[in-house]
Structure 1
Amino acid sequence: MSSFEHAIDADLLADILSVSKTTVSQWEKSGKITAILDTTGHKRYALESLQSFDVVRQMLESTWNQEILIKPVRPFSSIELFAGAGGLAVGLEKAGFQAVALNEWDKHACNTLRTNRPHWNILEGDIQQIDFKIFKGIDFISGGFPCQAFSYAGKQLGFEDTRGTLFFEFARAIKETQPKVFLGENVRGLLEHDQGKTLATIRAVIADLGYSLIEPKVLKAIFYQVPQKRERLMLVGIRNDVLKYAKFTWPALCQRIFVLRDALKAGALYPQDVPDSVGQQYPARKAEIFKFVPQGGYWRDLPDELQREYMQGSYFLGGGKTGMARRLAWNTPSLTLTCSPAQKQTERCHPEEHRPLTVREYARIQTFPDDWAFSGPISSQYKQIGNAVPVNLGFAMGRSLIALLNSIESKIEVSKAEIKNPEACEVVQLGLFDKKCA
């Protein structure tokens, strides 16, 4: 194997290790890591030489190619709450889940879901008005409930304490349907939200409902074939009566990190360049100023007179304001997409052209398929995409959840067989897929 097959530049190494490029440079100077020069004279770092870093070792020893083959042992039914434009739903569908209902209140997002999946049962409207008891016995529930503060004074951190929040509705759906497994996803900030009290309440509620919570984990999308630096907190719960049968592992890391070029150009992620689509535009003067922003740069890379013109009063304030006049770069993953690529505080400019990313470019970075159409005005389309779970992240997480349900299902069937004929049953371990009786 060539030294360059798994070699990456300093920017990508910084993303993988969650450190700054300056830190990478300091490590090289101190001898902690060693660079090699490629044929063009640019510094690269061979992953094989970085196995002292746990995340690099996980990439090199990954079982990703085996996990891609995971299939459900039977059809697993699912419900998704707060479904948005369907990023998580499409990923879970690819993994093998069969949705019996999806709830979303935004009319444009609901139209997006109906347009692309006419057979899906879309429950449009306020989740508080939905009776989930008709879905009792469902296999799985998922949802990205918005994180809201709870009231703690004199409370016992139980189910009723969360009333009035959307997490209460997520918990109510679990209580009324009793799925074997559920997935809650959220921003990583939920871990420290309200000094940890919010997550403590969530843990208490899950326990009250008769479920065990796997220790929550933040997944970085770049490790799951998503060309974007997005992070999501995942909460997996397993119903206590099937817990003894359950085998769960978090998804393996992909051995390759995809970058913006992979999203917008033909290659391993997509067979052709990104299609043309609608998109917002900058005013003429703003587009002129962006001509001076290099790839990967932002307002501080402008000449001082343009910094003052662009930032105006903010020029004299503290803070980095790194989202302002921000241009993406071809050779690194995209910054986390926002709900508006043209808004001054959260700009996402094309790496070469002097304009915001288009709707289709946004969708590519979130790994939506090119035939997934978005409904509503442009502003709503950007918002739907920006708020979505990346499809490929949902797919990776979905495979782990399918494997979990496979382990539960197979062991339950073995237990039934043992009861019927305990002497004839031989349990054979078959990895993530399971058992058979002789």
Structure 2
Amino acid sequence: MVTNEFLSLAETAELLGKNKETLRRWDREGKLVAIREPLSNYRFYKRADVEKMFEGFLNENGSVEGNFTSPDNDYKVLELFAGAGGLAVGMEKAGLKCVALNEIDKFACQTLRNNRPNWNVLEGDIKDFGFTEYHGKVDVVTGGFPCQAFSYAGKKLGLADARGTLFYDFARAVKEVNPPICIGENVRGLLNHDNGKTLEGMISILDEIGYNVVPVQVLKAINFNVPQKRERLILVGIRKDIDLDYQYPNPYNKIYTLKDALKKGELYDSDVPVSGGAKYPKRKAEILDLVPPKGYWRDLPLDLQKEYMGGSFFLGGGKTGIARRIGWDEPSLTLTCSPAQKQTERCHPDETRPFTVREYARVQTFPDEWEFAGSLAQQYKQIGNAVPVNLGKEVGYSIIKFLNALYKR
């Protein structure tokens, strides 16, 4: 039953970003009606119906108002786990000033120095740095700390219990600097990591060091002028002596596509610059040649499906990222650290190849003049790990709005 025209329940859930139970409820309510196979009673969906619903999602609940807010003062940021600078460039575009950035990866540090010689790049393990010199001199501490489980010493997790994790060092830096606001960002999976205990522990630790945590939100990059279906969890802490609400940035109605990323238009004033990029092995290219734009492995002839998928062919799940060719008229799927991983394929719409380095950077909304240091693999890794610049900019505006209100009091 699953052909180019139809999608399974698992595939539909994956493409729409909903769980299977939601889809079953929508079927009962008539919102998205499934077709049942007579013998198995399995649900299938018309691809055209699913794509129409997804397009509706892209344009609902958005805002036509911008988030732009001009800073009333010279606000300063200390950024931890800075990577190649996606969040830092976004904050800079919003009007915030980076006073220092910490990063352990030497290639990412070289990228930061090459592009911003005036930035104070603290290269090395965060555990080796103290931040007391910035006490009272920084308005916001930001950081994309990795998601790591804690050891639980008691009922309420404390800062000491998180020793050995990178969140411990994020919290330690916040405690040493004592800014009015701190912003952590992470993958959506943090919500359920260790059955939610990891996030609970982080909130408990921030509470211990004097910060109230705003209700956590997952921001979808496509709602913030980023042509990519990427999601980032944002963790905001407000110092307890401050009685002032923080408001997340408003999402936009306008959704940008791969065409907007790579061609001259609203996002960029020129086509994407030519650059180096990864290549597919000969046999893989021959198979992917047969996949249409917006298609994936299910669009191949049955014998090639079995050849390409191997044992995975007989397993459940949609696996919609495998042999996936992105369409011009849709946002890119989330970029990974490697452009040709089998499970998360990101094939160019017209040419059978992965995205080039500059195409990768465009999808992440880096400026064309932002150059990446290191080998091709290192450049892809830096870009794939980054916070999209435009998402960082919109979060930056929300920080400025908060700080403007704070210092007017």
Cα pair 2:60 2:253 within 8 Å, conserved: no
Higher relative CO (Cα under 8 Å, sequence separation at least 6) belongs to 2
Q: 2:113 — aligned with what?
A: 114
Q: CA deviation at 1:165?
A: 0.2
Q: Which sits farther off after the overlay, 165-174 or 192-201?
A: 192-201
Any idea what the Cα deviations from partners look like across 1:87-125, whole Å, max 9, x if unmatched? 000000111111110000000000010011010000000
CA–CA distance in structure 2, aligned partners of residues 86 and 291 of structure 1: 35
Cα pair 1:84 1:388 within 8 Å, conserved: yes
Pick closer, same or farther for the CA change 1:275–1:304 going to 2, 3 Å: same
Q: 1:149 — aligned with what?
A: 149
State the one-letter code of the partner of 1:179: P
Cα pair 1:247 1:407 within 8 Å, conserved: no
Q: 2:238 — aligned with what?
A: 238
CA–CA distance in structure 1, aligned partners of residues 359 and 60 of structure 2: 32
Q: CA deviation at 1:27?
A: 7.5
Q: CA deviation at 1:46?
A: 11
State the one-letter code of the partner of 1:259: T
CA–CA distance in structure 2, aligned partners of residues 15 and 223 of structure 1: 19
State the one-letter code of the partner of 2:261: A
CA–CA distance in structure 2, aligned partners of residues 87 and 406 of structure 1: 24
CA–CA distance in structure 1, aligned partners of residues 64 and 201 of structure 2: 35
CA–CA distance in structure 1, aligned partners of residues 285 and 320 of structure 2: 18
Q: 1:165 — aligned with what?
A: 165
Cα pair 1:266 1:273 within 8 Å, conserved: yes
Pick closer, same or farther for the CA change 1:364–1:93 going to 2, 3 Å: same
Q: CA deviation at 1:308?
A: 2.0
Q: 1:342 — aligned with what?
A: 340
Secondary structure of 2:212's match?
strand
Q: CA deviation at 1:190?
A: 0.8
Q: CA deviation at 1:32?
A: 5.6
What number of residue pairs does the alignment pair up? Answer: 378
Q: 1:369 — aligned with what?
A: 367
CA–CA distance in structure 2, aligned partners of residues 348 and 410 of structure 1: 47
CA–CA distance in structure 2, aligned partners of residues 78 and 402 of structure 1: 11
CA–CA distance in structure 1, aligned partners of residues 162 and 71 of structure 2: 34
Q: CA deviation at 1:250?
A: 1.2
Any idea what the Cα deviations from partners look like across 1:316-362, whole Å, max 9, x if unmatched? 33333222211111111110001111122222110110001111100
Task: Report the RMSD for the aligned CA atoms in angstroms.
Answer: 2.7
Counterpart mapping for 1:248-397 below 5 A: 248-397=246-395
CA–CA distance in structure 2, aligned partners of residues 130 and 139 of structure 1: 19
CA–CA distance in structure 2, aligned partners of residues 345 and 15 of structure 1: 13
CA–CA distance in structure 2, aligned partners of residues 16 and 94 of structure 1: 32
Cα pair 2:186 2:232 within 8 Å, conserved: yes
Any idea what the Cα deviations from partners look like across 1:273-322, whole Å, max 9, x if unmatched? 11111100011221111111111111121101111222233333333322
Pick closer, same or farther for the CA change 1:249–1:392 going to 2, 3 Å: same
Residue 391 (structure 2) pairs with residue 404 (structure 1): no
Counterpart mapping for 1:410-425 below 5 A: 410-411=408-409
Secondary structure of 1:58's match?
coil
Secondary structure of 2:333's match?
coil
Any idea what the Cα deviations from partners look like across 1:39-68, whole Å, max 9, x if unmatched? xxx999799xx8xx9x95632xx2533x22
Cα pair 2:107 2:373 within 8 Å, conserved: yes
CA–CA distance in structure 2, aligned partners of residues 286 and 56 of structure 1: 36
Superposition TM-score, scaled by structure 1 size? 0.81
State the one-letter code of the partner of 2:70: K
CA–CA distance in structure 2, aligned partners of residues 221 and 142 of structure 1: 18
Cα pair 2:59 2:255 within 8 Å, conserved: no
CA–CA distance in structure 2, aligned partners of residues 30 and 204 of structure 1: 40
Cα pair 2:14 2:320 within 8 Å, conserved: no
Secondary structure of 2:313's match?
helix
Cα pair 2:322 2:345 within 8 Å, conserved: yes
Q: 2:44 — aligned with what?
A: none
Q: Structure 1 segments of 4 or more deviating over 6 A?
A: 14-17, 26-31, 42-47
Structure 2 residue runs of 5 or longer lacking an equivalent are 1-12, 33-47
Residue 222 (structure 2) pairs with residue 222 (structure 1): yes
Superposition TM-score, scaled by structure 2 size? 0.86
State the identity as a percent: 58
Q: CA deviation at 1:83?
A: 0.3
Q: 2:100 — aligned with what?
A: 101
